Amino acid sequence: MIRFGVIGYGYWGPNLVRNIAETKGAQVAMVSDLRPERLALVQRRYPYIDVTADCRELVSDPRVDVVVISTPVDTHFDLAMQALQAHKHVFLEKPITGTSEQALRLIEAAQARQLRIMVDHTFIYTGAVRKIKELVDKGTLGEVQYYDSVRVNLGLFQPDVNVIWDLAVHDLSIMDYVTGKRPVAVSATGFGHVQNRPENIAYITLFFAERLIGHVHVNWLSPVKLRTTLIGGAEKMIVYDDMEPTEKVKVYDRGISVTPDSESLYKVLVGYRMGDMWAPQLDGSEGLGVEMQHYVRCLETGEKPITDAQAGLRVVRILEAATESMKNRGQLVELPESKEVSA
C-alpha cells in the first residue's frame, strides 16, 4: 500500500484526494492546507484522513511515501525539494516548477536519491489523448504536419502567472506526448487587458526541425469554453474536441495529394481527398484515475512515468521561451537542445 500526503486542498486537491482514495494500492494518509475550512471539508468527507495546517509535518511524517503538491506554482520547488530531501516520491501539479533551472535541480535531487517525480499532465491519461497517441504511433495519420489547439474560457485570472503558464501547459504537454517531437524555436504574442497583471490572451507558434508547425491559442477572456485541437497528418487528420460529451476524437480521411505537373519541371499539382470521418469509441475513464494507477504501478515496478520530470522540464522550457518572445512581440526565441538532461 502506497501512502500519499496531499499538500493543498483548493480547486484541484479534492480531485486528487478522491482519485487516490479510489486507486488500488494507494491510500491518502494526510492532507495539509493553510485554511481551516478546507481541512474541515476534508474531515467531513474523509473522517479517517489526518489533516494538518503545517505541510512540514506532512512532509516529514513517516506514514507518507509520496508527497502530492497541489499549491501555487511558485511554491512547487521548495516543497518538492523538501519532500525529496525527506526521501519521499513527489507528485507535482502542473507546471512542474516556475523555472527550468528549478526543474533541473529537482531532477538531480530525485536522481541522487532514486526517487520518482511525476508531473500531473493529466490530459495525457484520458481516453481521447491515448487514442490519438495510438493513431500517431501506428502511422494511421502519416507524418504529422501541424498541431493547432485552442483552449479558451472566461478564466480564473491568476495573479502572478500569465495565461500561458496556466492553460498552455495542457496543450504543450499533449503535443509533446502525441507528436514525440521537440520544438526548436518559439514565437509568441499576447496582451494583458488588466493593468499590473500579466497577459490574459496569448498565441504561441512552435517551430520544429521537422516539417511540422505547432500553435496554441489560450485566453482567459473568452465568453465560451473552447477546447479544440486540429492535428494534420499526411494521411489522416484529427479534430479533438474535448467539449464533446462522447465523440471527442474524429479522424478524417482527408488531405491533399501532390503530383508533378507534366507541363513544368518546377511545378506541382495539388489534388484533394475528401473521405469518410470516423470517431473511435474512447475509454471514458477519468484521466486522473488512470494517471494515479499508472503512477502507483511505476512506484511498485520502478518503471518510468510517462509524465516524468523530464516531460515537465520540456514544457517549462517552452513556457519560458514563449513568455520571453511575447514580451518582445513575437521575436523568435530558440529553445535549448531538447535532448534529455543527463542529470
Residues 47-106 that bind a copy of itself (CB under 8 A): 47-48
181 binds a copy of itself (CB under 8 A): no
Q: Nearest CA to 218 among 318, 86, 129, 295?
A: 318
As a whole number of angstroms, the distance between CA 157 and CA 165 comes to 11
Residue 72 or 330: which CB sits closer to a copy of itself? 330
Cell numbers of 105, please? 535541480
CA 41 to chain centre: 28
CA 340 to chain centre: 18
At 260, the amino acid letter reads P
Binding residues for a copy of itself, rule CB under 8 A, total 71
As a whole number of angstroms, the distance between CA 205 and CA 211 comes to 14
Residue 113 or 146: which CB sits closer to a copy of itself? 146
DSSP-derived letter for residue 11 is S
298 binds a copy of itself (CB under 8 A): no
List the interface residues with a copy of itself, window 125-164 (CB under 8 A). Answer: 145-146, 148, 150, 152, 154, 157, 159
24 binds a copy of itself (CB under 8 A): no
179 binds a copy of itself (CB under 8 A): no
As a whole number of angstroms, the distance between CA 176 and CA 89 comes to 24
32 three-state secondary structure:
strand
Shortest Å, Cβ 118 to a copy of itself: 24
Shortest Å, Cβ 139 to a copy of itself: 18
Q: Do 237 and 254 contact (CB within 8 A), yes or no?
A: yes
Shortest Å, Cβ 18 to a copy of itself: 9
Residue with cell 494583458: 192
- Range in contact with a copy of itself (rule: CB under 8 A) among 58-66, 74-82, 217-225, 307-315: 217-225
Shortest Å, Cβ 241 to a copy of itself: 10
- Range in contact with a copy of itself (rule: CB under 8 A) among 56-64, 66-74, 235-243, 307-315: 235-243
